[in-house]
A and B are shown apart, each in its own frame.
Chain A
Amino acid sequence: MAIESYNQLLRDYVELGKEEMADISGPEVVRVENLRVDYGGKTAIDGINISFKRNNITAIIGPSGCGKSTLLRSINRMNDLIPGAKVTGKVYFNGIDIYSRDVDPVFIRSRIGMVFQRPNPFPFSIFDNVAFGLRVNGFKLSKSELYEKVKDALVKAALWDEVKDRLDKHAYSLSGGQQQRLCIARALAVDPEVLLLDEPTVSLDPISTARIESLLRSIKDEYTIIIVTHNMLQAARVSDYTAVMMPDENMVGRIIEFGETRQIFTNPRDKRTEDYISGRIG
């Protein structure tokens, strides 16, 4: 059995739970085939083939400008929002090509959440931040149901204990690390299948970073996580699989190696991977 059309995907989400969806569509949540992204005529990445396994954390590492974030943004159609961006190739989500004509990017983004480099909480209260996704996606919830969902998300994001007494306080009253966990909670509240993280700890201190890393490990049984990071050791610590990207001689980003994180960090096959992760280049 497989999901054959976008409409079926939509229907299945309404009628089936996430576990049943997983049974139907198999272990590959996202598969990228021959992806190429151009920005205003300049190719950023090309020839990208990779698939992301359900309930695993995959890290994408590589030097600056290798197109890691571009690849990430292609997975939930965030590239649509960048003027002059052109995506060719295929990205399958549960077997459905998300770039095909009948697919609504808004729906895709509600199923594939994203957390950004800098914490970007909305200028609302803590509660309203987490509830935002539920509200814009038109979930019909009673007040108590909404509260429960918000609480669940904050618990998963390991933030509940710190904010439970001040949910109505402004989000900007939180520290940077707390704000980023709030953003993770916000993304988790809509219960996506995939969570994309674009260098989520780059602006945080080591303790906040460690918290976010362990929270990612703790939620990976429920979500498929793809994390872009500059920090190779973060990739080594947190991920199950690692993809290494590198710009070629024309500065077009490509995946040069993909494999289990254990293998990449103890015995990389590609010389460039070896040099990059050992700190000899980049």
Chain B
Amino acid sequence: MSRILDMGLQLLTRRLEEMFNIGINSFYKSIDGLLQYRDVENEVFESAKRLRDLHEEISEIATELIARYQPVAKDLRYIRSCLNISYDILRMGRYALEITRSSRMLGSLLECDLTPISEASEVIGQMLKNALQALQELNVDMAKKVKEMDERIDEIYRERIKAITLERNGSRECDVAIVLTLRNLERIADHATYICDAVEYIVTGALRHRE
């Protein structure tokens, strides 16, 4: 028998998935804009706005569900996690916008060696897809895999910073652009892992504190 609460939870899930897809699109768009030097700022900005609206809507749904149905246990953990995840996706949208804005500020980067960025983006793209899947399936193994992938992002970021401080022959613009972008990408990856923490919390009830 389906409960009244279940209908509310389904609505919450649909909104969250919508947010997730917008967030992933916005991430790809910002990276494409950067790599191919296209102006995507308006589109990414619109996505960020839409994410903000959806985040508000999810908060309202969640508040109503708590007030009206007094969810407990897994239901309660799910709602709490939806709020967190929705915030994480909101932040992802903001970082995508940051990437777009900084690349526009610095002009064309077609001359630079952007391999670290494309490599990191590829990993992050995978992380985001897996995180979405982990959420949809409440799959803890999948969530753990995403968190392992995050280590690779940190590695790329650290290596790049070390490389820039040691090598002095590269172009200044390129270095700034790459470090800035990697910084934002690293934040996006962090949020992907937070989402996976939330999935784990829903399933097991284990809380992990964010750094």
A and B touch in the complex (CB under 8 A): yes
- A interface, CB within 8 angstroms of B: 232-233, 236, 265-268, 273-274, 277-280
- How far, in angstroms, from A273 to B74 measured CA to CA in the complex? 11
Beta-carbon nearest neighbor of A280 in chain B: B3
Given contacts A277-B73, A278-B75, contact A267 B5 (CB under 8 A): no
**Docked-complex contact A279 and B5, CB < 8 angstroms:** yes
**Docked-complex contact B74 and A278, CB < 8 angstroms:** yes
What 1/0 flags go to B62-81 for Cβ under 8 Å of A?
00000000111111110000
Q: Which residues of B are found within 8 Å of A274, using beta-carbon distances? A: 73-74
Tell me which residues from 68 to 103 in chain B have a Cβ below 8 Å from any Cβ of chain A: 70-77
**Docked-complex contact B3 and A266, CB < 8 angstroms:** no
Q: Which residues of A are found within 8 Å of B3, using beta-carbon distances? A: 278-280
**Main DSSP-derived SS at the A contact region:** helix
**Docked-complex contact A267 and B70, CB < 8 angstroms:** no
**Docked-complex contact B71 and A267, CB < 8 angstroms:** no
Beta-carbon nearest neighbor of B207 in chain A: A267
Beta-carbon nearest neighbor of B69 in chain A: A279
Given contacts A279-B3, A279-B5, contact A233 B70 (CB under 8 A): yes
Q: How far is the CB of A251 from chain B (nearest CB, A)?
A: 22
**Docked-complex contact A278 and B70, CB < 8 angstroms:** no
Q: Which residues of A are found within 8 Å of B70, using beta-carbon distances? A: 233, 236
9 nearest A-B pairs in the assembled complex, by CB-CB distance: A267-B205, A265-B72, A277-B72, A274-B73, A233-B70, A268-B73, A278-B73, A278-B75, A279-B3
- How far, in angstroms, from A277 to B5 measured CA to CA in the complex? 13
- How far, in angstroms, from A233 to B72 measured CA to CA in the complex? 9
What 1/0 flags go to B1-21 for Cβ under 8 Å of A?
001010000000000000000
Chain B contact residues (Cβ within 8 angstroms of A): what range? 10 to 19
**Docked-complex contact B5 and A266, CB < 8 angstroms:** no
Q: How far is the CB of B199 from chain A (nearest CB, A)?
A: 15
Q: How far is the CB of A84 from chain B (nearest CB, A)?
A: 37
- How far, in angstroms, from A176 to B40 measured CA to CA in the complex? 68
Beta-carbon nearest neighbor of B1 in chain A: A280
**Docked-complex contact A266 and B77, CB < 8 angstroms:** yes
Q: How far is the CB of A271 from chain B (nearest CB, A)?
A: 10
- B interface, CB within 8 angstroms of A: 3, 5, 70-77, 205
Count chain B CB atoms within 10 A of each CB in A232, A233, A265 and give the residue with the most: A265
Q: Which residues of B are found within 8 Å of A268, using beta-carbon distances? A: 73
**Docked-complex contact B74 and A265, CB < 8 angstroms:** no
- How far, in angstroms, from A13 to B73 measured CA to CA in the complex? 42
- How far, in angstroms, from A266 to B81 measured CA to CA in the complex? 12
Q: How far is the CB of B91 from chain A (nearest CB, A)?
A: 25
Q: Which residues of B are found within 8 Å of A232, using beta-carbon distances? A: 72
- How far, in angstroms, from A155 to B156 measured CA to CA in the complex? 69
- How far, in angstroms, from A233 to B205 measured CA to CA in the complex? 20
Q: How far is the CB of B59 from chain A (nearest CB, A)?
A: 20
Q: Which residues of B are found within 8 Å of A266, using beta-carbon distances? A: 72-73, 76-77, 205
Q: How far is the CB of A265 from chain B (nearest CB, A)?
A: 5
Beta-carbon nearest neighbor of B76 in chain A: A266
Beta-carbon nearest neighbor of A275 in chain B: B73
Q: How far is the CB of A269 from chain B (nearest CB, A)?
A: 9
- How far, in angstroms, from A279 to B75 measured CA to CA in the complex? 10
- How far, in angstroms, from A24 to B73 measured CA to CA in the complex? 38
Listed by A's residue number, 15 A-B pairs whose Cβ atoms lie within 8 Å are A232-B72, A265-B72, A266-B72, A266-B73, A266-B76, A266-B205, A267-B73, A273-B73, A274-B73, A278-B72, A278-B74, A278-B75, A279-B3, A279-B5, A280-B3
Q: How far is the CB of B206 from chain A (nearest CB, A)?
A: 8
Q: Which residues of B are found within 8 Å of A236, using beta-carbon distances? A: 70, 72
Beta-carbon nearest neighbor of A274 in chain B: B73
- How far, in angstroms, from A274 to B76 measured CA to CA in the complex? 11
**Docked-complex contact B73 and A265, CB < 8 angstroms:** yes
Q: Which residues of B are found within 8 Å of A265, using beta-carbon distances? A: 72-73, 76
Q: How far is the CB of A49 from chain B (nearest CB, A)?
A: 24
Q: How far is the CB of A243 from chain B (nearest CB, A)?
A: 16
- How far, in angstroms, from A265 to B80 measured CA to CA in the complex? 14
Count chain A CB atoms within 10 A of each CB in B70, B73, B74, B205 and give the residue with the most: B73
| 8 extra interface residue pairs, beta carbon distance < 8 Å, beyond A233-B72, A278-B74 | A232-B72, A265-B73, A265-B76, A266-B77, A266-B205, A278-B73, A278-B75, A279-B5
Q: How far is the CB of A198 from chain B (nearest CB, A)?
A: 23
- How far, in angstroms, from A236 to B72 measured CA to CA in the complex? 9
Q: How far is the CB of B100 from chain A (nearest CB, A)?
A: 40
Q: Which residues of A are found within 8 Å of B75, using beta-carbon distances? A: 278
